[in-house]
Amino acid sequence: MPKFQTSPTTPTKSTHDRGPTPYFHGRRRILQNFIKQLENSAQQKDGTIFLIQGAPGVGKTALLYECGKLARERKWQVADIHPDALWNTAALMRSLGRGDEFETSERTGAVDIKLAKGGYTSVPVPRTTISILKEADIPLLLILDEAQILGISGKPPTEQAIHATNTLKEIHNGSLERSVVLLAAGLGTTLDAFGFLGISRFAEGCFVELGALSKESERAVIHDWLTKKGGVKGDPTAWIDMIVQETHQWPRHVHSYAKHAAEHLKENDGIMTSQGLSAVIELGQEGRKQYYKQRVGKFYGDQLQCLVGSISNNPLGEPISRLAIISSLAQTYDDKAEDLLEDFIEKGILEKNGKGLSIPIPSMQTWLQKNYGSKSGIFPRDKSAP
């Protein structure tokens, strides 16, 4: 029986605002549903796919990490995978920590397994990802982040698409005679990507459209940053009250503002001042602006101006029909309007919500309207740009 490795149990260092968060709060119902799926799968020795979909900055990666922790606590093997692990046996072996276990034999066309006492013995090459997934009894959680690329740059080559589809169906239908759960997360096109690969319906509680934090969770996250990281002296309620006016319960903004606040406090012996709070708010606003610039970086100003024009009369966060947006875009872009709309959805600027389309981050809608809502043709530009 091969030995298996799991992913690290401690958070990896995240760059900027991606990855696991040190102070996680909320998402209780989602985590409860996830635990239920793990327990059912372990008892029945089957599996499923658990999909989390949401806009950029909503906290998908942090939630994946928390789910991974819960699985490890229940003695599951946990492996982070890339899309090609669904059809490429070598990629799957590497993800399972078995990348150096096999060496292909040129003489026999088989696989030479390293023996503990030295030497090798030949066995047939594993033919499919399905056969590899069946090779052990320990429950297995596969984690796939940025899963929307299954429908774009990370989609399987034509000749491998059937293997990817078969692997997903075996996991989804619990047909591997082993407890295997695929936990995937991605942007608003992820559900469509799975649909293209034959998975169009998810079990109850296994499809999540992730949104903003609750107000209680938002405040709890900021409180932890200020007290545990910043070492604040005194009651931080006033600072929290000011910060939540800026973060709008959006996880990326909560993390950014709270981190700036904690760093300021740590550098000033935990002492709160009005000047310090003003500096923190200014840093947070600049970070938020840079985040929005990155989100729209693919698009020209005139394209964004047309988008804003199509939703200008809509209240913040309220949906508008797809047809209304396309009709507005078509006045300028004719038959390219639908392609442009799909680009907006793919980049997470627009999100499907069952009733239509909307900009998922209210403060981003405000920023877009401020910078692209006029006909002046003057668009924001990074001062460092040539």
pLDDT tens digits, 29-87: 999 999 999 999 999 999 999 999 998 899 999 999 999 999 999 999 999 999 999 99
> What number is the average pLDDT over the span 166-176?
96
**180-184, 210-214, 294-298, 303-307 — which one is most confidently predicted on average?**
180-184
SS3 category, 27: coil
Q: On the CB side of 116, how many CA atoms lie within 13 Å of its CA?
A: 3
What do you get for the CA distance between the two ends of the chain, in Å? 60
Q: Which tens digits make up the pLDDT trace of 296-309? A: 999 999 999 999 99
pLDDT at 221 over 90: yes
> What number is the average pLDDT over the span 261-286?
97
Pairing verdict, β 140-144 and 77-80: parallel
- Write out the H or E segment, with its range, that includes residue 53: strand 47-53
In 3D, which of 27, 160, 147, 180 has the Cα closest to residue 89? 160
**Confidence at residue 210, expressed as pLDDT on a 0 to 100 scale:** 93
Chain-wide mean pLDDT for the chain? Answer: 86
**Confidence at residue 280, expressed as pLDDT on a 0 to 100 scale:** 98
What share of the chain in percent tops pLDDT 70?
85
pLDDT at 14 over 90: no
Q: Which tens digits make up the pLDDT trace of 274-299? A: 999 999 999 999 999 999 999 899 99
pLDDT band of 178, cuts 50, 70, 90: very high
> What number is the average pLDDT over the span 197-208?
93
pLDDT at 3 over 90: no
What share of the chain in percent tops pLDDT 90?
68
Give me the torsion for CA of 268, 272, 273, 276, rounded to 10°: 60
Q: Judge whether 179 and 136 are in contact, CB under 8 Å.
A: no
**Confidence at residue 312, expressed as pLDDT on a 0 to 100 scale:** 80
Q: Judge whether 202 and 51 are in contact, CB under 8 Å.
A: yes
Residues 6+ away with beta carbon under 8 Å from 269: 231, 233
